[in-house]
């Protein structure tokens, strides 16, 4: 301000002088005369009367800003107060009305609300209706804005990246400033390092070396010396006594109120030790009389095992005492009181209470059993004997008495005595029989079934111990006594089957159903099927099948039979009852002999769980009933071929031709059979016949493939040209044509073939991929990128195209562009497993786990994501977890060859040859996978066309490198 005033000073003076009156002021020849005034003595401030400079805030220099007084904003007015204008129009007569009007009329003219294109952010037609054409126009403008933004995005991101790098160069972090010094630390020798002085301690001497108060305990000799002198110094200072000696021994006064006599303390200690020693020593021989077990029991009883408060225990004790006194003949009160004392560690009190309870409630079984539990061995036997006198019919007391006996003979004696008094107890008979030898048990059981004729378990136990003829008699008697139990009938059927009398099994089960219905028993289908599964597991196959046949159709509507039976068969397979499932399929095939789906389910069951002979027998019956089912013929032929019985396979396919004369599948199966067995001429003739009689695109494709793999390139090209005349919209033919040209190094012709194919099949992802890889192979990276971009525009939902684009940039070393493309790909195809799997390994190692969690949230059951997680665990050397995720992957998708190859590679590195590796190989051969990027590249290679699944698995695994 001062400088400002200084600059303005001369101007002000000149103005004042110019503003004088008279001709002298105009002419400027004479100096202006000063006018006499009382203010002449004071010096006038030069800046007075001048306008304030730009940005000047009054009071800012002395801190008098940031507050507003009432004089600035006027008096407080309520919204309902009338305005000053008494003749205002309606709607403007109160302060609130005028405020609303001002808010509506006022337009926000702030600079931040101004746009060069749109002006201020107010819409001229905001009050008008928003119609469908407005919405369409907005959508078009939004799409244009988005497109323009995408065009500028790369330049904008590049510019931002350059600015950030420039900023980092100008203002590096402290860590980067010292990076060169850190590198020089590697050159520091050990002597130089050790010669670096330690950082000094800035604290003062008193803080560095605090003096601890030294306390020296007084020895016993000090006290004894002063006691012998007879001086009256046998007391401890009360202030000293407060230091930890609050209660020296029971019954003494709290220190601080009087003096402690050290002599009396010593005498009390000696007396206490004498008492302890006298308790544990024998007065005659001096040997110890401590019982180790009892001593440990006492220690356990001293430890309170309850978790409650002492006051709660006192309340419970008082409450139970009140219950006992109010109703002394209530057994639960005595039992609860005894258990409370037991829990609190007062075992003897608990015993006394429960014994008093037995006196008050002599007819209560529970009280006697609790007393026997609480008492030690011999006393418990006496308690049980007393209980038997009061309750001679109690089975539980007899069982407890037998448990207390340690000698087997004594146990048997107790149980036999019990059976004399309680001969109708099944539990006593079972317990007694379990202790006997088989011959004695049979005699006892024959008596037991007389005493308890309604016990199924006793009858069945007796039948098991008897001979065949006697067992039949026993079971007949059992049926007479218990006509409503199904287990006796099932046991009879198992007995007949065990003695090779299988023709009786079905009769017995049928009689069982009839007899049980006659006696009013409801036939529960689920229970009978469970019994059949138990028979299956016990090895009684005929009984199991007879039960299934008898009950499988009970309680099912006619239209639900097929569905229900298939579910029952699956349930039996999951429970391991294969014979039950086989019986269900056999019955279903009898009822539905022309159902192709039932035959297929049965065939797959035999393939997975049966033998080759059983499968072939089933398939022979199947094709007899369903001759038009091509898959059944093919399964039969394949079974024969795998058994290396080629003539039989040919004969099956010949019969299939007769039943299905123009079937493409059977033609191709016959061609495959001949080509696999090196009968190439036969295969050619078959394909020629197929092209003439059943021409399809697949037949032509197989014809081209056969000539190609046999090295007849010219014949393959001719066939391909002929095929494309008929099937120009079949993309695989164009792919094969281009690949054949690539193999012959005719890149221009290959490019032309792919381009022609894309004109006919623009939605074929494989053709786009082959064309882009061709351009990349010849070094045309930009053209390959353009092809993939064009492919994505035409097919935005094909994840393979996005994946190839990401990999193309990654192979070119442009990792940032690859990451950007991956983000776009995941927006277009958010549920694509292959994209998420690739995204996991595009991240740096610390972020991979987080990315894998996101992938699992989006694609929980996708095999590619599960495989990526397994590879992630493998890379972290978490072998067990990796194996679990590999198993999960091949279980969810057994057709994914890449998963099997990676799993096999994993087991080659971390498994044993006999166990894990062999198991993976066998499971892969059974699954016969046909898909997967790595798998198809190996299996569809021209040189590998005759390789088996196991050889392809080993080939793919050998090419996998642990680069992840």
Q: Per-residue pLDDT averaged across 438-443, rounded?
A: 70
Residue-wise pLDDT tens digits, 872-896: 999 888 888 999 999 999 999 999 9
Residues 741-767: what's their mean pLDDT? Answer: 88
* Residue 84: predicted pLDDT: 55
Work out the pLDDT band at 218, boundaries 50, 70, 90. Answer: confident
- Looking at 281-346, list the stretches that DSSP marks H as alpha helix, in order from N- to C-terminal side: 292-302, 310-326, 331-343
**708: β partners:** none
Instruction: Write the pLDDT tens digit of every residue in 686-725.
Output: 778 878 877 888 888 888 888 888 888 888 888 888 888 8
Nearest to 666 by CA among 655, 675, 676: 655
Spatial separation of the C-alpha atoms in residues 273 and 324, rounded to whole Å: 42
Ordered domains of the chain (ranges, CATH): 314-452 (1.25.40.10), 483-581 (no CATH), 593-694 (1.25.40.10)
Q: 291-300, 316-325, 342-351, 384-393 — which is least confidently predicted?
A: 291-300
Tens-digit pLDDT profile for residues 483-535:
788 887 888 887 777 777 777 878 888 888 888 888 887 888 888 888 888 88
Q: Sorting pLDDT into bands at 50, 70 and 90, what band is 22?
A: very low
Residues 6+ apart with CB under 8 A from 831: 858, 859
User: Minimal CA–CA distance to 663: which of 640, 639, 686?
Assistant: 686
Cα separation of 890 and 863, whole Å?
8
Per-residue pLDDT at 899: 92
Q: What is the pLDDT of residue 889?
A: 92
Indicate the range of 40-44, 163-167, 418-422 predicted with least confidence. 40-44
Contact between 414 and 405 under an 8 Å Cβ cutoff? The reply is yes
Give tens-digit pLDDT for 102-136.
555 555 666 666 666 666 555 555 666 778 888 88
Contact between 658 and 665 under an 8 Å Cβ cutoff? The reply is no
159 Cβ partners below 8 Å, 6+ apart? Answer: none
Cα distances (angstroms) measured from residue 603 to each of 13, 181, 548, 573, 623: 119, 76, 20, 14, 11
- Is the model's pLDDT at 603 over the cut of 80? yes
- Give the pLDDT confidence score for residue 868 in this predicted structure: 92
């Amino acid at each position: 301000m001062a400088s400002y005033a200084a600059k303005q000073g001369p101007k002000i003076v000149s103005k004042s002088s110019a503003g004088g009156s008279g001709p002298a002021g105009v002419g400027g020849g004479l100096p202006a005369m000063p006018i006499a005034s009382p203010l002449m003595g004071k010096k006038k401030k030069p800046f007075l009367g001048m306008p304030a400079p730009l940005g000047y805030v009054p009071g800012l220099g002395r801190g008098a800003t940031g507050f507003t007084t009432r004089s600035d904003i006027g008096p407080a007015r309520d919204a309902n107060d009338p305005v000053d204008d008494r003749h205002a129009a309606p709607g403007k007569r109160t302060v609130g009305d005028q405020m609303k009007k001002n808010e509506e009329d006022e337009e926000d003219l702030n600079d931040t609300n101004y746009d060069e294109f749109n002006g201020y952010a107010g819409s001229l037609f905001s009050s008008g209706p928003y119609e469908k054409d407005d919405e369409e126009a907005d959508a078009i403008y939004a799409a244009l804005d988005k497109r323009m933004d995408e065009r500028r995005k790369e330049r904008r991101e590049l510019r931002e990246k350059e600015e950030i790098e420039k900023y980092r160069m100008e203002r590096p972090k402290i860590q980067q400033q010292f990076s060169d010094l850190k590198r020089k630390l590697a050159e520091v020798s050990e002597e130089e390092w050790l010669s670096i002085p330690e950082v000094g301690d800035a604290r003062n001497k008193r803080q560095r070396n605090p003096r601890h108060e030294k306390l020296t305990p007084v020895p016993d000799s000090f006290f004894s010396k002063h006691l012998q002198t007879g001086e009256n110094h046998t007391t401890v200072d009360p202030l000293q006594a407060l230091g930890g000696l609050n209660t020296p021994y029971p019954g003494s006064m709290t220190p601080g109120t009087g003096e402690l006599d050290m002599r009396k303390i010593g005498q009390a200690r000696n007396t206490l030790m004498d008492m302890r020693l006298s308790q544990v020593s024998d007065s005659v021989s001096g040997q110890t009389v401590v019982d180790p077990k009892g001593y440990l029991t006492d220690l356990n009883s001293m430890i309170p095992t309850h978790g409650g408060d002492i006051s709660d225990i006192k309340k419970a004790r008082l409450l139970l005492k009140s219950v006992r006194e109010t109703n002394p003949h209530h057994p639960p009160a005595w039992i609860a009181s005894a258990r409370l004392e037991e829990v609190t560690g007062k075992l003897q009190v608990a015993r006394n209470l429960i014994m008093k309870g037995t006196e008050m409630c002599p007819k209560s079984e529970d009280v006697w059993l609790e007393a026997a539990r609480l008492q030690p061995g011999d006393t418990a036997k006496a308690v049980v004997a007393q209980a038997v006198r009061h309750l001679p019919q109690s089975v539980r007391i007899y069982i407890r008495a037998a448990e207390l006996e340690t000698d087997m003979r004594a146990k048997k004696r107790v149980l036999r005595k019990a059976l004399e008094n309680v001969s109708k107890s099944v539990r006593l008979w079972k317990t007694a029989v379990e202790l006997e030898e088989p011959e004695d048990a049979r005699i006892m059981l024959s008596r037991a079934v007389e005493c308890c004729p309604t016990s199924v378990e006793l009858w069945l136990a007796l039948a098991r111990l008897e001979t065949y003829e006697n067992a039949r008699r026993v079971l007949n008697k059992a049926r007479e006594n218990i006509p409503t139990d199904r287990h006796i009938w099932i046991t009879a059927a198992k007995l007949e089957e065990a003695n090779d009398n299988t023709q009786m099994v079905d009769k017995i089960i049928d009689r069982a159903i009839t007899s049980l219905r006659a006696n009013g028993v409801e036939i529960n289908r689920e229970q009978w099927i469970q019994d059949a599964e138990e028979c299956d597991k016990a090895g009684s196959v005929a009984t199991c099948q007879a039960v299934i046949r008898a009950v499988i159709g009970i309680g099912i509507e006619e239209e639900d039979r097929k569905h229900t039976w298939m579910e029952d068969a699956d349930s039996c397979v999951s429970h391991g009852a294969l014979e039950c499932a086989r019986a269900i399929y056999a019955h279903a095939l009898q009822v539905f002999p022309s159902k192709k789906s039932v035959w297929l389910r049965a065939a797959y069951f035999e393939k997975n769980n049966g033998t080759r002979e059983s499968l072939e027998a089933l398939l022979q019956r199947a094709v007899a009933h369903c001759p038009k089912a091509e898959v059944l013929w093919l399964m039969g032929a394949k079974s024969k071929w795998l058994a290396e019985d080629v003539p039989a396979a040919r004969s099956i396919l010949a019969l299939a031709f007769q039943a299905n004369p123009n079937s493409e599948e059977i033609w191709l199966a016959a061609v495959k059979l001949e080509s696999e067995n090196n009968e190439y001429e036969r295969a050619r003739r078959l394909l020629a016949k197929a092209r003439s009689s059943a021409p399809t695109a697949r037949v032509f494709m197989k014809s081209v493939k056969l000539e190609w793999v046999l090295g007849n390139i010219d014949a393959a090209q001719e066939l391909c040209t002929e095929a494309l005349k008929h099937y120009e919209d079949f993309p695989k033919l164009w792919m094969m044509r281009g690949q054949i040209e690539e193999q012959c190094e005719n890149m221009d012709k290959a490019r032309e073939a792919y381009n022609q194919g894309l004109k006919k099949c623009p939605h074929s992802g494989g053709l786009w991929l082959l064309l882009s890889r061709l351009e990349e192979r010849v070094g045309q990276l930009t053209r390959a990128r353009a092809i993939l971009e064009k492919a994505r525009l035409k097919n935005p939902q094909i994840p393979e195209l996005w994946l190839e684009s990401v990999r193309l940039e990654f192979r070119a070393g442009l990792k940032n562009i690859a990451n950007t493309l991956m983000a776009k790909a995941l927006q277009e195809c958010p549920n694509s497993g292959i994209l998420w799997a690739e995204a996991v390994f595009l991240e740096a190692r610390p972020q991979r786990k987080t990315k894998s969690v996101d992938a699992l949230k989006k694609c929980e059951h996708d095999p590619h994501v599960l495989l990526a997680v397994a590879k992630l665990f493998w890379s972290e050397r978490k072998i067990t977890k990796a194996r679990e995720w590999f198993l999960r992957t091949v279980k969810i998708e057994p057709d994914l060859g890449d998963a099997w190859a990676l799993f096999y590679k994993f087991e080659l590195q971390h498994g044993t040859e006999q166990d894990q590796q062999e198991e993976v190989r066998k499971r892969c051969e059974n699954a016969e996978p046909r898909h997967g990027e790595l798998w198809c590249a190996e299996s569809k290679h021209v040189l590998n066309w005759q390789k088996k699944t196991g050889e392809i698995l080993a080939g793919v695994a050998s090419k996998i490198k642990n680069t992840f």
